[in-house]
Structure 1
Amino acid sequence: MKRFTCGCLLPLFSAVLPTGASAQACESGFSKSPQFAAQDCRFQNRPNPDAKPNRSTWDIWSRFFLESKQGTVPIDPVPVRPMDRAALAALDDASNHIIRLGHSSHLLKLRGKWWLIDPVFGPRASPVSFAGPKRFHPSPVALEDVPPIEGLVLSHDHYDHLDVPTIEALNGRVQRYFVPLGVGQHLRDWGVPADRIEEFDWWQESKWGEVALTAAPAQHFSGRTLTDRNRTLWASWSLRVGGDHVFYSGDSGYFAGFKEIGARLPKIDVALMENGAYDSYWPAVHMSPEETVQAFQDLGAGMLYLVHNSTFDLAFHGWREPLERVAALAKERRIVLATPEIGEVLTIGKPRENRNWWEGLR
């Protein structure tokens, strides 16, 4: 049976419906960015002659509307480890912890201070509440239990990474927002005070408390409506604190930039790498499992931590496939792999036994 999937392309391609965030007019300040093409007022990726071409928008939309999906949504419950306020408070303030909330959303406790990466607590990755990709599982941390946030990091403005209800619910509870160029306008439109927002071009750095941040390149795109494609920048991120170094790829196709990042931001302890929502129809903007592993090795990082899977139905591959393929490659190449359950805490530098939690689930 053919399956109509309203909104499932929203995080991957231009959204079908606008939200309250307005499309930006061309701002002269962006013209200083090497990533900004002033002639059409849009950001762009670096030239990459090795990038595989994406199929046409018509081909992609037609496939989503006409092709049936098999095994993209779990039948059995995805395991979740709930974390309440007491459990969060009990985490050692002297260490650095990463808690997987689902998809690419993470809650971090860095030297006793709380940080969020691409938080999406809403039930759907969509501009509307009644349609679009729906969560496979609840958040392990209830939104009302999220502690005061020192810093919130965003990689780009797609719906599976930037969620309006989440931003509105957290307003007043976040000290500082760290976002790529242009994304700050979305936040300001939704009521976030301008003086709490810091916008970054690639390779710009900042420090907030004990955390040193660097926005790094990625190969992707942006947009939340039919008219604002690439009006804002996308980025990967480096966070260094207390001698530990965390890298987050954001969304990206495979490109030579990973080697440059590894050279310029060395000694990465944990690399949170995109692994999911890939397809032969859009190979330039998301990595296959094999490319995820290669990108990780280009970085020269210590631990490969998989993100961007197990929460939303965004592509045509089976929901377990990204994890299975990378796990097999990691075993073959003797890579230290982290595939934490939803809600699991990973403490940097603390020994852990990785588990293939998806095995046996339908």
Structure 2
Amino acid sequence: MVLSIVIVVAAIALVVVLFVQFSPQFGGKASKEAIESYKTSKNYKDGVFKNAKDVKLDMSLKDMGKALMSFFKSQPNTKPEHDLTSVKIDSLNIANYNGDTRLVWFGHSTFLLQIQGKTILIDPMLSSVPAPHPTLGSKRFSQELPITIEQLPKIDAVLISHDHYDHLDYESIKALKDKVDHFYMPLGVSAHLLEWNVDKSKITELDWWEEITFNDLKLVCTPAQHFSGRGLSDRAKTLWSSWVIQSKNDNIFFSGDSGYANHFKEIGEKYGPFDFAMIECGQYNEMWPDIHMFPEETVQAGLDVNAKKVMPIHWGAFKLAMHTWTDPVERFIISAEQSKLNFIVPKIGRVIYTKNTDTSANKPFWFQVNQ
């Protein structure tokens, strides 16, 4: 009996090792030359990237067991009862557009941004499960997206905030790479794209506070308080970030994933005020308070960056924590109204104009599901 158990455990361990070793989903590793260049970054120390302050990344065994039990335990309302519908947008509508700055939300943290004649994808996670294998994650709340990857026209640029599966997706990058002109990302993330056969000439890595001009746009890689990693041994081997996107007429902030910290105020002081800010609001838990914000902190972050309008993101697509699926936006709206913060909560796929004063999109998202 003991021998049989040992054989089974060994076989499972072998399968896991082979899967991690050979599955392309896990991405690549930085070259020696790249690692040498990272050593000049203030955010890189002892072979890994660091946050500006020490944060709690590792749960105790007790907390880990509690989290696993809670995640797999049947809990009410952690997912919608019915598939979420989305507003559709067609390829010609995107390809022929040259008007005011607008965005289309795909749920979670994925956006299509059209600004100053350019089309940009932000954190394009367009697959159904944010995991290295479909059996290892929870499916997207909506079976259909506003537009499929195959229908997307030419993309001028892709911005990536970090390498977690719900933000950097192998299948999406593989399908997009030949129709994208350029990819921008924080330090280290290029190793994954190179492993996935994205042309090196189409990749630019940036450190925090580094600026670059993309045609007539200014892109700034700004700080976040989070972590990275896709496998069993690559924790913090790549950097994480937020992004500032500036044109002649618009100033936009995208938070990426982040716990609440002083960097929001720093970003606001240096690059604000912002016409529109997309700020994380979801997948939080008291067991990991430093790496994701609670909704009330999302509101404070919006005030810190001096945003004229805030959209709560990182919700509405996947179950990655134990709160109800509507809890993020319910709490956000209450706090935003108390703080007199202007906000928008649109249905997935609805076109959002950054300077539009229309408040009809503030109708709670779950009331719009079947409209």
The TM-score, its normalising length taken from structure 2, stands at 0.88
Kept in 1: contact 2:95–2:154 (CA 8 A) = no
Aligned-pair Cα RMSD in Å: 1.9
Q: 1:184 pairs with 183, 186, 190, which one? A: 190
For 2:243 and 2:332, the matched residues in 1 are separated by: 22
Which residue of the partner structure matches residue 261 of structure 1? 267
After alignment, is 103-112 or 63-72 more displaced?
Answer: 63-72
Aligned to 2:139: 134
Q: Is the 8 A contact 2:347 2:368 kept in 1?
A: no
Distance 1:360 1:234 in 2: 33
Q: Work out which of the residue numbers 42, 53, 59 in structure 2 matches 1:56.
A: 59
Q: Which residue of 1 aligns with 2:201?
A: 195
For the residue of structure 2 that corresponds to 1:32, the secondary structure is: coil
* Structure (1 or 2) with the larger CA radius of gyration: 2
The within-5 A match list for 1:16-165 is: 17=20, 19-20=23-24, 21-24=27-30, 27-37=35-45, 39=46, 41-47=47-53, 53=56, 56=59, 58-67=61-70, 68=73, 69-89=75-95, 91=97, 93-137=98-142, 138-165=144-171
Q: For residue 103 of structure 2, what is the amino acid of its counterpart?
A: I
In 1, the alpha carbon distance for the partners of 2:38 and 2:114 equals: 33
**2:249 maps to what in 1?**
243
* SS of equivalent residue, structure 1 residue 66: helix
- Is the Cα–Cα contact under 8 Å of residues 114 and 147 in structure 1 kept in the other structure? no
Contact 1:156 1:162 in 2 (8 A): yes
* Amino acid of the structure 2 residue aligned with 1:131: L
Matched residue, 1:205: 211
Q: Where does residue 302 of structure 2 map in the other structure?
A: 296
| Alpha-carbon distance, 1:359 to partner | 4.2
Note if contact 1:107-1:114 (Cα within 8 Å) is conserved in structure 2.
Answer: yes
- 1:84–1:360 CA distance, 2 compared to 1 (3 A): closer
Alignment deviations for residues 4-37 of structure 1 (CA, whole Å, 9 cap, x no partner): xxxxxxxxxxxx9564223336611101000000
Return 345-354 or 260-269, whichever deviates more.
345-354
Contact 2:209/2:221 (8 A) holds in 1: yes
**Contact persistence 2:156–2:182 (CA under 8 A):** yes
CA distance in 1, matches of 2:200, 2:368: 48
Segments of structure 2 that go 5 or more residues without pairing to the other structure are 1-18
- State the identity %: 35
Residue type at the aligned position of 1:134:
K
CA distance in 2 between partners of 1:185 and 1:326 (Å): 36
CA distance, structure 2, for counterparts of residue 17 and residue 136 of structure 1: 27
Superposition deviation, residue 302 in structure 1: 0.5
Change (3 A) 1:72 1:242: same
Q: Say whether residues 1:174 and 2:174 are aligned partners.
A: no
Count of residues paired in the alignment? 341
The answer to which of 111-120 and 310-319 deviates more is 111-120
Q: In the aligned structure 2, how far is the partner of 1:107 from the partner of 1:60?
A: 37
Structure scoring higher RCO (CA < 8 A, sep ≥ 6) equals 1
Q: Deviating runs (4+, > 6 A) in structure 1?
A: none
Deviation (angstroms), 1:350: 2.2
Q: Do the aligned residues in 1 keep the contact of 2:244 with 2:254 (CA within 8 Å)? A: yes
Aligned residue in 2 for 1:328? 334
Greater shift in the superposed pair: 249-258 or 66-75: 66-75
**Among 317, 321, 330, which residue is 1:315 paired with?**
321
Hey, what's the Cα distance between the residues in 2 that align with 1:35 and 1:22? Answer: 21
Question: Aligned letter for 1:105?
Answer: T
| Aligned partners of 2:125 and 2:169 also within 8 Å | yes
User: Residues 335 and 296 of structure 1: is their aligned pair in 2 closer, same or farther, counting only changes over 3 Å?
Assistant: same
Q: C-alpha separation between the residues in 2 aligned to 1:351 and 1:81?
A: 20
Distance 2:181 2:40 in 1: 28
Q: Could you tell me which residue of structure 2 aligns to residue 280 of structure 1?
A: 286
SS of 2:182 mapped into structure 1: strand
1:26-79 Cα shifts (integer Å, max 9, x gaps): 611101000000x2x00000125xx6x456253343224323233211103323
TM-score under structure 1 length normalisation:
0.90
Distance (Å, rounded) in 2 between the aligned partners of 1:90 and 1:129: 35
2:228 matches 1:222: yes
For 1:198-231, what per-residue CA distance to the aligned partner results, in whole angstroms no more than 9, with x for missing partners? Answer: 0000000001112110000000000000100000
Structure 1: segments with no counterpart, 5+ residues:
1-15
Task: Give the secondary structure class of the aligned counterpart of 1:34.
Answer: coil
